[in-house]
Chains A and B, each alone.
Chain A
Amino acid sequence: MTVVRVDPVRGLALCADADGERVTVDVALIGSVGVGARVLVHAGTALAALG
């Protein structure tokens, strides 16, 4: 998924999939992430940043 918006205070990010569907994702496992980053998401949690 692609990061659309980040909420660093709550450790969440709004991410979009290939079809544009947006979900809230917990990014606590991957540290800081920026808008536009590609992340591997499973069950609402980012497991890894890609590239």
Chain B
Amino acid sequence: MDSLPFFPDRASTIAGSIDNLYFAWLILSGVVALAVAVAIVWFAVRYRRGSAADRSLGDVAEHEKTMHHIEIVWTVVPLVLFLAMFFWSAKVYYRSVTVPKDALPIYVVAKQWMWHAEHPGGEREIDELHVPANRPVELLMTSQDVIHSLSIPGFRIKQDVLPGRYTTLSFTANRPGEYHLFCTQFCGASHSLMVGRVVVMEPAAFEGWLSAHANMPTMAARGAQRYRQLGCGGCHDAQATVRAPKLDGLFGRPVQLRDGRSVLADERFIRDAVLQPTQDVPAGYDANMPSFRGQISEEELLEIIEYVKSLSNAT
């Protein structure tokens, strides 16, 4: 308690833009609040009951006209200011939610009450997240139970993590160090203990950290193993006899569906195809795939997604 902290660390490329918005609002609202306060105090003192101040309004028609003008001014000025702030903040927001193409993917599964992260190379961590500095990172997140929210105040970012679907959060950290990671959506008894740390490392140090875990199978390898265990290859492999879509080169491409729609084969699509296969059936195929709901954990599903992704990267 020996210092008065006013602002959080500024450790991501978006943080400065968010802070600028914050400062702009501080100044704007400070000016307005001060103006209202000064006006109230000034009027209250000057026109206190019994004061000698002149209260005549002069020519009534003239007075009404002036008042009317004042009303227009104090309607239009806030409106214009608000619209300007709206556009500015929306612009910053769109920048913050746009994922750069070369972003490093990291997979996060939230559960009561821990953060489980897995890197494509297979490195797993709990309540910690190691990321390289100056490289865009995209977190692909889901929850195993209730809604959580991943917040890193030092990066000025936050996103709810939902059960049953994927949400993403992207950032580029730019200052090596350790930062808070909080769950900000109330998730049960130990919500306030669902905290961790984000470790931003210089790229070389990050590579070193990764290679310290180099003896583990990659996520894609684990995914491939699970894929075989579940018998997916019986239909989806190139030499399979049952008609099912091939997975090579699938990820990231548009898929024509039986009902005429076309959807992008992204993480959500793969997830739904495994858990609710009859929902989006590709054109030319029957809806004969069984659901794997209940047979596969969130982590395993992410590994299978990473495996399917790897089949596209290879070609």
A and B part of one assembly: no
